[in-house]
Chain A
Amino acid sequence: KAGVTQTPRYLIKTRGQQVTLSCSPISGHRSVSWYQQTPGQGLQFLFEYFSETQRNKGNFPGRFSGRQFSNSRSEMNVSTLELGDSALYLCASSDGTSGRVDTQYFGPGTRLTVL
């Protein structure tokens, strides 16, 4: 099976702009989670989607949002970008079946630079 794909791989934006990142999970996986990775804060959970519904959310401001489509592909959006949003954004997919503890498989990430 193909792995998790994320597009684009690199992005450069300026403060105040908005950005949309895309993630295609492994075929058959219904859960998609997003994480932010920075040198200072490490890996932090943003949110998780399962069957088009947000199932869990981390401690990030409302500028960070996401959605999931019927084919399980997911997008995350960051509005009004700040310099501190510069990070590697990682998407992870898992089977997501309720009651199981699934392994999350990560994509290569999108490197966002805010100038």
Chain B
Amino acid sequence: AQSVAQPEDQVNVAEGNPLTVKCTYSVSGNPYLFWYVQYPNRGLQFLLKYITGDNLVKGSYGFEAEFNKSQTSFHLKKPSALVSDSALYFCAVRAARGSQGNLIFGKGTKLSVKP
């Protein structure tokens, strides 16, 4: 069965410092991996995705993610955190085979960036 794990419920970072939000996955075959962000009382906003190719994926708002097949990880990173990055972050996966509509989400990681 496909699954996604976000091992940290919360990540605290000082503004200006680099941030990492962790994600590991389990899927049969090649994974399609996504990161979304959710602000309070809002829907999910797409940040980036990995389909194939370069292991370092660049996305919106200065975020990037590194795909590591051997460690089955897809960690989200940003070189310099902003207070406005504080939000709930979700990692999601879908197997290469199967319907496009079914994203499996992690439980989410709350990112708190302090001034």
Residues of chain A at the chain B interface (Cβ within 8 Å) = 4, 6, 31, 33, 35, 42-45, 47-50, 55-56, 58, 90, 92, 94, 96, 100-109, 111
Contacts and interface: CB of A to CB of B under 8 A. Distances in A.
7 contacts: A31-B101, A35-B105, A44-B105, A48-B101, A56-B101, A100-B100, A101-B94
A101 B104 CA distance: 14
Q: How large is the interface on B (under 10, 10 to 19, 20 to 34, 35 or more residues)?
A: 20 to 34
A4 B45 CA distance: 11
Contact of B104 (A45, A96, A100): A45
B102 A45 contact: yes
B43 A108 contact: yes
Interface string B85-102: 000001010101011111
Contact of A43 (B32, B41, B90): B90
A37 B63 CA distance: 24
A47 B99 CA distance: 10
B27 interface: no
B43 A107 contact: yes
